[in-house]
Amino acid sequence: MPARPALLIPRKLSPAVLERARRDYDVILNEDDHVFSPDELVAACQGVDAVLPCHSERFDAATIAALPDRLRIIANHSVGVDHVDLAAAAARGITVTNTPDVLSDATAEIAILCMLGAARRGSEGDRMVREGRWNFWSPAFMVGRQVTGRRFGVLGMGRVGQVTAERARGFGMEVHYHNRTRLPDHLEKGAVFHDTVEGLLQVSDVLSLHCPATPQTTGIINARTIALLPERAILVNTARGALVDEAALIAALASGRLFAAGLDVFRDEPGGNAGLAALDNVFLLPHIGSATFETRDAMGFRALDNLDAFFADRTPVDRLV
């Protein structure tokens, strides 16, 4: 009987995913679930055929160059792959996969939560009640922005962007979007397409970011582009922290140029940004867009589906390299 592939799982996955992985692979775990340093990651990859990482494991060019020849596939437990140098992986002949589709609903829910939390001053109100400071009421007390009937801008109309747009329609919002290519009618569903980022920003009362972090999109939200948004607009980011110049965002929030922001992602993770955390008009979450029981199972199973196909000499459905 041929030996089963050896699989490194660097982070703690759901019990159902681990059970299936152990059924079909010789699994090596990171028992205390800490984030590997680059040297630890390379050391842990010795003697394995595959690795099933999360976005916390960074496979930059130097790390990939140090990987053993035996390792043939990086099957990511994420849809984003900005933590993997795809060109370096391709040069080494290492297959890279991701897990699209399965986290769209969960991430869209968090985007809507961030929008509402920002618009209705959720973070400020929560702290006030928890700290025992709620001792006053007036018609002028804690007044926020109503999103019903507003224009909802989507930057990056992929799977998550499309689902988030559908949820926004439930609030009677008018959907606008920018994408590299215009969607067909059955996916566009009446949303207004803008062929430039600038055109989208000018009409976005709420701007929700759903594009990947690439060299072209890093820092796409900055002082210049924020200035294009309508006065007192709301920014929502559930995609990647690298999309936003956080210093420019802090300045716009502190000045009142933006009404509020709802953020699930940051440039520095874990940890976030102390300057943003100090502002009352920011609703903050610790990168939990896909963190539901159902989605965690689905992401793990999708990664294992890709591994199963690869080791059966089939092309994984979600192969990027």
Select which of 72, 120, 150, 240 is catalytic: 240
Residue 97: closest CA among 256, 314, 249: 314
In the annotation, is 166 catalytic? no
- What are phi and psi for residue 166, nearest 5 degrees? -65, -40
**Torsion on CA atoms 193, 217, 104, 107, rounded to nearest 10:** -110
Which amino acid is it at 168? Answer: A
In the annotation, is 287 catalytic? yes
Query: In this structure, are residues 299 and 102 in contact, taking their beta carbons and an 8 Å threshold?
Result: yes
3 state DSSP class of 163? helix
Round to whole Å and give the CA distance between 216 and 193.
20
Select which of 124, 166, 188, 269 is catalytic: 269
Query: In this structure, are residues 283 and 257 in contact, taking their beta carbons and an 8 Å threshold?
Result: no
Select which of 150, 194, 287, 296 is catalytic: 287
DSSP category for residue 283: E
If you write DSSP's letter for every residue of 183-237 in order, what string do you get? Answer: PPHHHHTTPEE-SSHHHHHTT-SEEEE-----TTTTT-BSHHHHTTSPTTEEEEE
Query: In this structure, are residues 307 and 73 in contact, taking their beta carbons and an 8 Å threshold?
Result: yes
In the annotation, is 182 catalytic? no
- What are phi and psi for residue 319, nearest 5 degrees? -70, 130
For residues 108-138, b (16+ Cβ closer than 10 Å) or e, as one string? Answer: bbbbbbbbbbbbbbbbbbeebeeeeeeeeee
Query: Active-site residue numbers?
Result: 240, 269, 287
